[in-house]
Structure formats: C-alpha cells, structure tokens
Amino acid sequence: MKPTAMVLSGLLCIGTGIAAAQDAQAEKTIIANERAATEAFAKGNVAAFSAVVATTGWAIDPVMGRAAVSDLVKDFAAATKDLKVTEWDISDSKFMWADPNTAVHMYKWTGKGTDHGKPIVSPLWESTVWTKKDGKWMAIFHHESPAPPAAKP
C-alpha cells in the first residue's frame, strides 16, 4: 500500500472512531434528556419539561391525539393535574441517526399509575426526534403507541 493511501486509511479509521464516540456521548445525553422530560411531565414541572422539549414541537399519543407542544405548555397544569405516576422506566433504547445533529430515540416505556382515574397504559413503544440546536439536544417530536399483545404460540 502506498504511504499516502495508508495515511488516508488511518485518518478515515480515526474519524470513524471519533464519530462513534461522539454518537455514544450524544445518545447518553439524549437518554438523560428523555428521562428528564418524562420526570417533568409526571411531576407537572413545566419549566423542567420546557428545558428539554422545544415549544415548536409536536406530539402524538393515544390520550391527547396530535398536539402542539406550545398548546400543551400553555395548559400544562391541566394536562398533568390528574396524572399520578407511581413508577416508570425507559428500556430497550435504539437510535437512528439522520445526521450528526438529528436522531430518533426509540424505546420501551413501562410504568404504573393512573391518568384521570384510569390505569396508565403500559408498556408503550415510544419515539422522540431530537435535534441539537445551539449546542443543546432538544426534543422536537414525540410519539407513543401501546405495545401490541404478545403473539400466541
């Protein structure tokens, strides 16, 4: 192999390693932000929620349907008033990267509690689109779907 080709090959490997390390760190940050948004919603903390969720974003879930985050934030107290989450967790995280500043975080949410007196649906399959703006990861779209029942053998 020519020396120039060897150097270029080495630089490509180093660049790929750096990108993978950056993605791993970004994924840890996104998961932490996802947890912060979930905790803030469960506790009715609009300031903490807005710190990681863009008010220009949208969400779709079985309870609220399609909703602008700006509308949710305006009436956050009412939206979270009858929500009583006693425990929850996020697991089975997977990421799909659109570019270095945009990722989809897909995961399983499980929890216990009530919403307007009815048991919370659990588990849910959820996904959130995260984008990095001004150096900070912010959620811009979120979707939730009840997990389908297990297939019968």
45-78 confidence digits (pLDDT tens) = 999 999 999 999 999 998 889 999 999 999 999 8
Mean pLDDT of 84-108: 97
Round to whole Å and give the CA distance between 50 and 37. Answer: 8
Decide which of 94 and 10 is more confident: 94
pLDDT reported for residue 16: 45
pLDDT bin (cut points 50, 70, 90) of residue 15 is: very low
Encode pLDDT of 119-128 as tens digits.
Answer: 999 999 999 9
In the chain, domain spans: 3-146
Which of 120, 125, 57, 121 is closest to 93 using CA atoms? 125
pTM of the model: 0.82
- Rounded-to-integer distance, Cα 74 and Cα 14, Å: 47
CATH class given for the domain over 3-146: alpha beta
Q: By mean pLDDT, which of 79-83, 129-133, 138-142 is the weakest?
A: 79-83
pLDDT in tens, 106-118: 999 999 999 989 9
